[in-house]
Structure 1
Amino acid sequence: MRKFFCPALLMSVLLSCSDGDLQIETIDFDSVTAQSCGSLQADSGNVLFKLNEDEALILELESGILNKGKLDETVTSTSAVPSKSKLTYRFFSEKVTSNYFCDDIPPATPSVVDEIAAEDGTVTIETKADADGTNYVHTIRLSDISFVRANGERITNLTINEFGEVTTAISN
């Protein structure tokens, strides 16, 4: 019996896993499209988000950052994270949909398992008019983003350089 019990105990210890520590090794949202709830307003703050199964990347732009376009040229604007714009990573208990962000009363599930706010970085927005001259196209890029968990662990493998493109109407 002892010959069976010791190896079985050793295997159970080696194969056991911890449910208490969520390990986030990579934040990868480059292949996911940026979304918003309704149309974006050029002269106010806007919230954009990207969903990747049970993860979300939420970008709260500083007020007026999208109001920098000119019809005949490309304009580049920057916003510091977290002092002007905010970037948050959320990990959910199950797959999340845009309803979580867009419904007047968010659904009860999924629940947030972990939330990490970026402590440093830059949002760069290149704005140019579309071919029709009716909308501005804003290309949003992130750089030098630094996420640090509450325990001091830094998430360094970030693949979120290209946040996406959004449009706002050109006002007459």
Structure 2
Amino acid sequence: MKKYISCVLCIIFFSCDDGDLEIETLDFDSITSVQNCGGVSVTASNVLFKINGDEALILELPNGAIKNEITTEDIAVNVNESGSVIYRIFSGTVASSYFCDDVPPVEPVVTKEVSAEDGIIYITTTELDSVTFEHTIRLSGISLVTENGSRITDLRINEFGTITTSQ
């Protein structure tokens, strides 16, 4: 009897299939520099990005999200209402010129792009001196969902980074 139960249990355990379940992680904590093209503007929308080899995390902030004034409360930008967070995987190592050139280079090619469906971008501004301001950007509750409905849940991107502006 034990042989039959063992055989049935083995068949059950070895016949299970996880299907196309794909667990992804985003780890941009080791990347300390936040990049942009041509400087950060307080009068226009801004595109900020972090590059990690063949991956990029892109943040689009609306006009007025970055201000040259000390904040007593965090500025909150809702994703998909006025801001966006996009994660891209490329076919090879990507450089900042990919985002900054008028015509992006042919290589590397975007192999996967996932946009955040929900979350909040928080911006805290402090004054470094009378003309320079430091803006700390944090992400909260960012929910990336792939085209097949898979949710990327292991997001290690709470601290996006720090940028400075001058008056």
Q: Same fold (TM over 0.5)?
A: yes
Residues 1-52 of structure 1, C-alpha deviations (whole Å, 9 max, x = no match): xxxxxxxxxxxxxxxxxxxx79561011112121001111112110000000
> Which residue number corresponds to residue 134 of structure 1?
131
Displacement of 1:101: 0.4
Q: CA RMSD in A?
A: 1.7
- Segments of structure 1 that go 5 or more residues without pairing to the other structure are 1-20
Q: Distance in 2 between matches of 1:75 and 1:99?
A: 35
SS at match of 1:57: strand
Displacement of 1:77: 0.6
Q: Distance in 2 between matches of 1:28 and 1:148?
A: 16
Residues 44-99 of structure 1, C-alpha deviations (whole Å, 9 max, x = no match): 110000000000000000111102613xx655211000111000000000000001
SS at match of 1:96: coil
SS at match of 1:147: strand
SS at match of 2:99: helix
> Which residue number corresponds to residue 3 of structure 2?
none
Matches within 5 A, 1:58-73: 58-67=58-67, 69-70=69-70
1:76 aligns with 2:84: no
SS at match of 1:100: helix
- Segments of structure 2 that go 5 or more residues without pairing to the other structure are 1-19
Structure 1 consecutive aligned stretches of length 4 or more whose deviation exceeds 3 Å: 21-24
> Which residue number corresponds to residue 90 of structure 2?
92
Q: Distance in 1 between matches of 2:155 and 2:134?
A: 25
Q: Distance in 2 between matches of 1:151 and 1:77?
A: 33
TM-score (normalizing by structure 2):
0.83
Residues 55 and 24 of structure 1, relative CA distance in 2, 3 Å threshold = farther
Residue type of the alignment partner of 1:117: S
SS at match of 1:122: strand
Residues 112-145 of structure 1, C-alpha deviations (whole Å, 9 max, x = no match): 0000000000000000111x22111000000000
- After TM superposition, the structure 1 stretch with the greater mean CA deviation from structure 2, 75-84 or 150-159, is 75-84
Q: Distance in 2 between matches of 1:22 and 1:153?
A: 8
Identity %: 50
1:116 aligned residue (108, 114, 117): 114
Number of residue pairs aligned between Structure 1 and Structure 2: 147
Residue type of the alignment partner of 1:78: A
Q: Distance in 1 between matches of 2:66 and 2:100?
A: 20
Q: Distance in 2 between matches of 1:166 and 1:99?
A: 19
